[in-house]
Amino acid sequence: MKKKGTIILGVTGSIAAYKACGIISLLKKDSFDVEVILTKEGAEFITPLTLQTLSGNKVMTDIFALPDNWEPIHMSLAEKADAVLIAPATANIIGKLSAGMCDCLLTCVVYATKAPVLIAPAMNTNMYDHKITQANIAKLKTIGYEFIAPAKGRLACGCEGTGRLAEIEDIISAVKRRAK
């Protein structure tokens, strides 16, 4: 089966990291190649082995890992991307991107790519509604990053509110719409 394109999936440090498994499975079912970047914080919630098994590709975790060839890994991933999806996206990664920080593989790939960037936030309601988080989201929207709004419901912390990762089907629809 012919591949539709390559999706770079950034998985950050949220309890919703386990939902990356469903995202990968559906993208693969739709014939996308999925390359996963797992942040250090994301690896506290899900293992590289799980994501590698589902994606069929080596999971990237470290910008300083020796590449398989001479090309810098962040540039290689950025150039092969038909879309970059960050799901789940924490307030931390949204803040880093808004502030121009490139201190991990994921942020470097986002800044190096010309592909569409889609961000699916997942965090506590208070963190999502915080004025700084909302300002960071607004700033990133002005440069063309697309946000897949979080859902309202019961959160891992036990409270009710907005902050749950969007439904996987909604995330996949957004990716299919924006991938080159």
Asked if 159 is an active-site residue, the reply is: no
Spell 123-141 as b/e; 16+ CB within 10 A means b: bbbebbeeeebeebbeebe
Q: Residue 84, Cβ neighbours under 10 Å: how many?
A: 28
Q: Is the distance from CB of 10 to CB of 87 less than 8 angstroms?
A: yes
Per DSSP, helices labelled H in 82-130 are: 91-99, 105-112, 125-129
Judging by beta carbons within 10 Å of its beta carbon (0-12, 13-18, 19+), is residue 167 exposed, middle or buried? middle
Choosing from 21, 102, 157, 159, the catalytic residue is 157
Active site residues: 157
